Structure 1
Amino acid sequence: MYGRERPGPRKVLLTGWFSFREGEATAGDVLALRRVEEVLRGAGMAYDVVWSPGFRPEALHFDDVRPGDYSHLVFVCGPLHGPQVEELHRRFPHCVRIAVGTSVIDPDGAAVTGFHRVLARDAPGTAPSEDLAARAPAAPARPVVGVILTDGQREYGEQSRHGQVARGVTRWLAGKDCARLELETRLDTHDWHLSATPAQVQSVLARLDLVVTDRLDGLVLALRVGTPVLAVDPVAGGAKVTAQARACGWPALLAAEGLDARRLDRWWDWCLTSGRVAARQLRDVFREGRVADGADRLVEVLATRG
């Protein structure tokens, strides 16, 4: 304990590394915050949360805070070190300052000793406690979406709209409540970021709820494992992505010229509902080989033309 506590919080200001302009918000930090909010609400205590303007521009920021409005300041999660944490003690000297769910590296550092109480998750000489994120309120699962895009394929020359499509799709995706995974179908046996075999790529695609792509590979490989695809043809007038969607009988396709949020939203909704069944049905068609492909015709050509 450092200093003397005052009873009865009037209003609590919740802060953390997610509050600083130069800080960052991790999923663990925000879940730890949710756990603290849950406990304060259950106790009937009033509080505000300070967010970084870079992360949540519309929320309460330190520049908006009037220190005198608060009796207590709570710092949630993360390591207790550095000038940004130390500044809290100078800016809120009248507040009872408490750190909770934090890591203590230097118990004698000013960032640590400035708090009246430190309820650490780990600190030298003390037994560790579970991270606050472990008991944060549960939230419904969000769709897991693989994103397979290319910025350009020079062979299409002036017809290429790859950059335009990538910017439009990613801007739209940023507003969707989903877990996004940027994926690449290119194989590499040396770069650990990339898959080394088609089976590795397919193992990822099979576990997704949806793939958003402007690539033929993304379309075919996802459908091959029964994952619905929202495809955009990045070539003006349509090219191989459009041709392949038609060959497969896959309807969730947009042209580069028709790319807008309304159409994307429509196919997004379809892919996550009816499209799930359609993709599995198409996967079965592929597996059963009901339609002849180029390899089948190749055998005929080789046999007849020697």
Structure 2
Amino acid sequence: MHDEVTAALLCALRQPGRSPGRLLLTGWFSFRDGEATAGDVLARRHASAELTRAGIRHDTAWSPGFRPGELSLETARPEAYDTVLIVCGPVHGPQVIALHARFRACRRLAAGVSVVDPADPAATGFHEIIARDGTAAPARRDLAATAAAGPLPPVAGVVLSHGQGEYGDRRRHEAVNARLTGWLAGKDCARLSADTRLAADDWRLCATAEQFLALVSRCDLVVTTRLHGLVPALRTGTPVIAVDPVAGGAEVGAQARAVGWPALVDAGALSEEVLDHWWRWALSGAGRLAAARHSVR
């Protein structure tokens, strides 16, 4: 059964004599200076699936900053479409107005959007709006709520050291962190940057050691170049990939060896192959069992 917004959209698209020949699916994920949020992309996925199910041919326009090389608003030929649909986000601002101008010959619809100001040209430029909120009609469920989603990837806590000037010319922190974060960017995971520094006046930081322990305990694994990324994670039973950022080894390597933790990488041995090996191990049953043996819970 369709959700309320989708049902209203399909009804609008199937009006006699107005069924689209080809539709361009857009949203804030399409604008060069817009934002491709998780909710926007899920809403697009939901709309695309429903359009496909209804037999409506369509293309998606992506921001070149988010999906380089894909069809964009700049490369989509207006004459190739008779209908433009924008989903999710607010119908507000100059980028939406520019969309109306570029595709002025098309029928323009908006679905699952917020109407900030009904008199705004960004809103009045649509032939029909099926709003999720901002109108006299009751609020409707967001399109992202029922979009199909695949298996959830692991959550990787990332705890990096940027200081330790006491190691002088043995420091490899900048090179190690760059290599490590570049590798992490290519992994299918949710990356959670965590700082071991505590503060009572900064909401972004933990205020107590227990709060930090709670944070790393909820990760599937931790990737760290800090001694106190390694120790708290292991005591909560969370597998760790520990990278020693000091040439010749220092406190991170010493602690990993002291407790018998195998997933240790020296600065001079850092490679994607080695990191991939320990990534697979940390997420395996063997890695989780090894970490559980270190838990003090």
TM-score by shorter chain over 0.5? yes
Cα distance in 2 between the residues matched to 1:6 and 1:71: 12
Equivalent position SS for 2:274: helix
Give the gaps of 5 or more residues in structure 2: 1-11
Q: What does the per-residue CA deviation read over 1:85-124, in whole Å, with 9 as the maximum and x for residues that have no partner?
A: 0111111122111000101111121111111110000123
Cα distance in 2 between the residues matched to 1:46 and 1:256: 52
Cα distance in 2 between the residues matched to 1:246 and 1:232: 12
Cα distance in 2 between the residues matched to 1:105 and 1:225: 46
8 A Cα contact 1:67 1:91, kept in partner: yes
CA shift at 1:144, angstroms? Answer: 0.6
Look up the match of 1:281: 293
Equivalent position SS for 1:100: strand
Verify: 1:110 aligned to 2:121, yes or no. Answer: yes
Look up the match of 2:163: 152
Q: What does the per-residue CA deviation read over 1:130-176, in whole Å, with 9 as the maximum and x for residues that have no partner?
A: 11111111321110110000122100000000111111111111111
Cα distance in 1 between the residues matched to 2:120 and 2:250: 62
Amino acid at match of 1:277: L
Verify: 1:61 aligned to 2:69, yes or no. Answer: no
Amino acid at match of 2:51: L
Look up the match of 1:170: 181
Identity percentage over the alignment?
Answer: 55
Amino acid at match of 1:248: V
1:230 paired residue among 215, 231, 241: 241
Cα distance in 2 between the residues matched to 1:255 and 1:11: 55
Equivalent position SS for 1:78: coil
Q: 1:251 to 1:108 in 2, by over 3 A?
A: same
Aligned runs of 1:250-261 on 2, under 5 Å? 250-261=261-272
8 A Cα contact 1:231 1:253, kept in partner: yes
8 A Cα contact 1:5 1:96, kept in partner: no
Amino acid at match of 2:80: D
Cα distance in 2 between the residues matched to 1:101 and 1:245: 51
The alignment covers a number of residue pairs equal to 283
Cα distance in 1 between the residues matched to 2:273 and 2:254: 23
Amino acid at match of 1:186: R
1:216 paired residue among 210, 215, 227: 227
Cα distance in 1 between the residues matched to 2:266 and 2:17: 64
1:195 paired residue among 206, 209, 218: 206
CA shift at 1:6, angstroms? Answer: 5.0
Bigger Cα Rg: 1
8 A Cα contact 1:148 1:183, kept in partner: yes
Verify: 1:73 aligned to 2:90, yes or no. Answer: no
Q: 4+ residue runs of structure 1 moved beyond 3 angstroms?
A: none
8 A Cα contact 1:226 1:279, kept in partner: yes
Cα distance in 2 between the residues matched to 1:6 and 1:26: 35
CA shift at 1:189, angstroms? Answer: 1.9
Aligned runs of 1:27-106 on 2, under 5 Å? 27-106=38-117
Q: TM-score, normalised by structure 2?
A: 0.92
Q: TM-score, normalised by structure 1?
A: 0.89
Cα distance in 2 between the residues matched to 1:88 and 1:193: 37
Cα distance in 2 between the residues matched to 1:93 and 1:145: 46
